Chain A
């Protein structure tokens, strides 16, 4: 109480809100406040693959291309490159082919990439050179190491120009035996010589480790050449990939292909720094608009404007409606607009949500705990903000994500799997019976679109309207897809040999198993709901709930039967969804991404054809055929494409959902004066309840004190009497 009073007096003097978690000196500063709930595991762009890692990395590292912030469908534009790379095609004799050459004739695709001149890295000790021109901090003595605990303890920093060699070096790192890049195996299938290069590095690494008896011994990748990736000159490099793979250019927009200065890796490979957690995996070095100024994942992570940023203008053009939405007001202005971003550790959603409402966070998602407080649905089913949110000037942004949540059938299972008519009809019947619309309404607060195929809206191959519905599950009525009746599902079930849910041969009730690793009370409600969906067909669904590890093991061994799974797109191409059903990607064959272990020869053949095609009528026709096969075979119950909801305050502008780009921080703007005014308005301290509590406590003491005094008097009198 005393402390409240002291801090209260303090606040009274400077007029600040008492519950403001930030220091007074930051009140008027151009700082964005955000949160993270789990610390990023990797900040080395060769390893990072999670959204909570990309939140930081995408602002720091600059690949050659990026997604246009405003235009839809998603479009690649240059970032560090001078233009979006296009492929030259060669046949097996390295003869140049025309751009419209047949995919089977193309043996190699060659990408010549040119980067912009004059781009410089963020200030970093790895670039500091002494008078002799040697790198100053690359051979630190024990004495020097004693004084170093974080990267900021290095007194000097320097920079250097970005060169093509840095991109080549990063591509070489894909094959580094100790870095475990998650996309190595995918890239080894495409980049010429990458798998051979990995073998060379593996041998070199073993030799070096054996010689130096050090597991962390630095491997100098510049000593070894990678056949398919070459430096052409200071600002140009070349990547050669096998065959035709148009999706490759999308990979170039990911941090895996961001530049890495070799001196940074050499700097961080010093054993003394590794022991102190000062590693490339912890302290990134980039050319982007921001740099990681503080990395304390136990408390906060801070991105600060990179003083060496080369500059980039806000987009001049956007999508339909962007001008009206005020998204082009800053057209042509230099990015970034925000000076600093502080990400605070928030493990629980309740404090995070309340701080957002108090104005101490600028943006927020909508968790299930706060959904009813924030969102209401209009008569037409459209999500809008509640009056409380509108009064605060909060804005809502929604977007259908480029992802899918589905229920899969293990196609290797004897009952539910396989390509027999019996199993297929059983799966189709279940697909009708499980009411995905109800699932979205109950368990996702209406935040989702029932999936008609694996491809979500906004990705080439997705077809809206009647032509795009899954005709095995839906009918087109009144201009919208309507789920087929349960009678039709029962009919299919009977045709499958399970009339009224009983095996016609044995007469026993059909028993199916749902494998899951879902914890918590929400899971129980979901699993009960799912059981009821199967009961519509008189099928008994047995839930085999286990821990995550056992579940993963079952999936790998192919011993699951029905399961829930999902996928979030890497890039906006149908290949990135349809490969989830491509036979050679079966999970049981070495942990591929085909969790249902679906393997249909026609589908596989069409997939291989579609993969190498450019977007157009022909590719759409192939995709349509593939979708027809997969809808007919029903290895998945397609589930839904989740809809993302995000909220932001009135002082936060230039916000447009972009589900492919992660480097959107540079476009955002904050009106700090409005923020400060609203924070003070919303957080006036209320001292009266504290005063009332203190007075009540004092009042309660009075009878006690009186009673004590009476008792003492009584004792004294007794003593006098006696």
Chain B
């Protein structure tokens, strides 16, 4: 397995270079260093000298990818792309374009993202699996049909509606939780309740339908029929046999997103005023802060690759037949 993991890590390097290059090309296709300087210096009384100074100080006065004035290796290394990219591979994210330490910001902002995403994922998973089991148990009955229809309705509703609706009901109308905000320590609990509930409710439709399909596929297999023939109760069949065998597709979906939980949710964080990494990324895009955008895309890619590797490893844990070679 070790050899497999090392191979996957080595595969990741060209992928990360590609992602970094793509981010660079897309970013500078839309923005030029002059635009970035103007954005950071403001609108009023900004002259060309100030723009040139800003570019020079932040290393944006060099050619983008190829320096024709340099010689030898410098033609490639004395460029914005090389200077802004190479340190990423040792996870040195450097400073943002307004001189803030990106690593420090990430270390501060990943916890609020995680503290919302993790309970939403765990409780959401339990709720979705339970409901999907219930529908599978009552398959081909009016309960199943109603559940499927309700699931389709729930997954058709925009997440924004859940957020605004939740804020309206829970905070504005019933005065049960703060409408938005965040705090540290135990005081954070009251702020987390609503976004977590909304995260769970918003995922019920799609989650339940997906797991129901998985369970129904398993429920018709021979080993289930055998279990029933042996006189096992339906509950036991579902929880002891069906659930265990349905774990592989469930793990595929869940393990891969675990590392990405750090990255936060863009809309939820904005509406609830939660200082997570989702809002950090959005702010960086709107303020044209390339250093942060590049760092966050890189981090997202790394976490996604880690998620995929973890998924592969988790296969071997739930299915002894699978060997990673």
A interface residue numbers (CB < 8 A to B): 3-4, 7-8, 17-21, 23, 38-39, 41, 49-50, 177-178, 180, 182-186, 215, 274-277, 279, 281, 296, 298-299, 344-348, 350-351, 354-355, 358, 360, 547-549, 552-553, 590-591, 593, 683-687, 689-690, 703-704, 707-708, 711-712, 715, 719
Alpha-carbon separation in the docked complex, A484 to B208 (Å): 65
| Nearest CB on A from B196, distance (A) | 9
Tell me if A299 and B182 are in contact (CB < 8 A).
yes
Partner pick for A355 among B45, B137, B179, B193, CB 8 A cutoff: B179
* Bound-state Cα–Cα, A8 to B174, Å: 12
CB contacts between A and B, total, < 8 Å: 164
> Hey, which chain A residues are within 8 Å of B273, CB to CB?
344-348, 351
**Could you show 30 A-B contacts with beta carbons less than 8 Å apart?**
A3-B189, A4-B176, A7-B190, A18-B177, A21-B178, A21-B181, A38-B283, A49-B42, A50-B42, A177-B53, A185-B47, A277-B104, A299-B275, A344-B181, A347-B271, A347-B279, A350-B271, A354-B167, A354-B172, A355-B179, A358-B179, A549-B30, A549-B32, A590-B48, A683-B175, A685-B174, A687-B176, A690-B176, A704-B134, A707-B143
Q: Does B108 touch A at the CB level, under 8 Å?
A: yes
Point out the residue from B31, B141, B174, B280 that lies within 8 Å of A686, measured CB to CB: B174
Q: Which residues of A contact B167 (CB under 8 A)?
A: 350-351, 354
A552-B38, A553-B35 known; 20 new pairs, CB 8 Å cut-off, are A7-B190, A18-B175, A19-B177, A49-B42, A180-B54, A185-B49, A185-B50, A277-B101, A279-B99, A281-B99, A344-B181, A348-B180, A348-B273, A350-B167, A354-B179, A355-B178, A552-B35, A593-B44, A707-B138, A715-B233
By secondary structure, the A interface counts as loop
Chain B residue numbers with a CB within 8 Å of A49 are 42, 44-45
Residue among B172, B178, B231, B272 making CB contact with A719, cutoff 8 Å:
B231
Q: Are B271 and A348 in contact (CB under 8 A)?
A: yes
Given A19-B171, A351-B167, A685-B174, A712 and B46 touching (CB < 8 A)?
A: no
Contact between chains at B180 and A23 (CB < 8 Å) = no
B325: CB under 8 A from chain A?
Answer: no
Q: Are B176 and A685 in contact (CB under 8 A)?
A: yes
**B98: chain A residues within 8 A (beta carbon):** 41
Instruction: Give the residues in chain B near A351, CB-CB below 8 Å.
Output: 167, 179-180, 271-273
A549 touches B189 (CB 8 A): no
* CB-contact partner of A182 in B45, B57, B280, under 8 A: B45
Residues of chain B lying within 8 A (CB to CB) of residue A711? 234
Q: What residues of A have a CB within 8 angstroms of the CB of B231 in the complex?
A: 719
Closest to A178 in B: B57
Interface residues of B in 186-235 (CB under 8 A from A): 187, 189-191, 193, 231, 233-235
Given contacts A346-B273, A350-B164, A683-B175, contact A275 B35 (CB under 8 A): no
Q: Given A21-B191, A182-B41, A685-B174: A277 and B35 within 8 A (CB)?
A: no
In this complex, how many residues of chain B approach chain A with their Cβ under 8 Å: the count is 65
Residues of A within 8 A of B182 (CB): 299
Docked complex Cα distance between A215 and B58 (Å): 10
Which one of A19, A183, A553 contacts B179 once the chains associate, using CB atoms below 8 Å?
Answer: A19
By CB atoms of chain A within 10 A, which of B177, B187, B280 has the most? B177
- B271-319 with Cβ < 8 A to chain A: 271-273, 275, 279-280, 283
The interface bits of chain B over 93-106 (1 if a CB of A lies within 8 angstroms of the residue's CB, else 0) are 00000111100110
A281 and chain B: residue at smallest CB distance: B99
Q: B45 touches which one: A279, A593, A703 (CB < 8 A)?
A: A593
Minimal beta-carbon separation of B122 from chain A (angstroms): 14
Q: Is the CB of B45 within 8 A of A549?
A: no
Q: Are B180 and A715 in contact (CB under 8 A)?
A: no
Residue from A3, A19, A552, A553 whose CB has the most chain B CB atoms within 10 Å: A19
Shortest Cβ distance from residue B285 to the other chain A in the assembled complex, whole angstroms: 12
Residues of A within 8 A of B30 (CB): 547, 549
In the complex, the answer to whether B270 meets A182 with C-beta atoms within 8 Å is no
A residues in contact with B233, CB < 8 Å: 712, 715
- B62, CB-defined interface residue at 8 Å: no
Report the minimum CB–CB distance from B40 to chain A (whole Å): 7
**Complex: how many Å from CA A609 to CA B78?**
51
Chain A residue nearest in CB terms to B51: A591
> Lowest 3 CB-CB distances: which A-B pairs, in order?
A298-B275, A549-B35, A21-B178
Smallest Cβ-Cβ distance to B31: which chain A residue: A549
Q: With the chains together, A8 CA to B181 CA distance in Å?
A: 18
- Among B48, B176, B187, the residue within 8 A (CB) of A591 is B48
* A352 nearest CB neighbor, chain B only: B180
Known contacts A7-B190, A277-B101, A704-B138; A355/B180 CB under 8 A = yes
Q: Mark B102-143, 1 if CB is under 8 A from A, else 0.
A: 001100110000000000000000000000001001100101
Q: How far is the CA of A685 from the CA of B121 in the complex (A)?
A: 28
Contacts of A344 in B (CB 8 A): 181, 273
Which residue of chain B has its CB nearest to the CB of A719?
Answer: B231
Query: Please, how many angstroms separate the alpha-carbon atoms of A296 and B181 in the complex?
Result: 13
A299 contacts across to B, CB distance below 8 A: 182, 275
Chain B nearest Cβ from A379, distance in angstroms: 32
Closest to A6 in B: B189
- Chain A residues within an 8 Å CB radius of B10: none
CB of B175 within 8 A of CB of A684, answer yes
Determine if A41 and B40 form an interchain contact, defined as CB atoms under 8 angstroms apart: yes
Question: How many Å lie between the Cα of A655 and that of B102 in the bound state?
Answer: 40
Q: Flag if B190 contacts A182 (CB, 8 Å).
A: no
Complex Cα–Cα for A719 and B191 (A): 53
- Looking at the assembled complex, report how far the CB atom of A585 sits from the nearest CB atom of chain B, in whole angstroms: 10
Closest Cβ–Cβ distance, residue B58 to chain A (whole Å): 10
Give the shortest distance, in Å, between A268 (CB) and chain B (any CB).
12
Contact B176 A19 (CB under 8 A): yes
Chain A residues in 8 Å Cβ range of B2? none
Point out the residues of chain A lying under 8 angstroms from B45, CB to CB: 49, 182-183, 185-186, 593
B173 contacts chain A at the CB level, 8 A cutoff: yes
* Interchain nearest-CB distance for B191 vs A (Å): 7
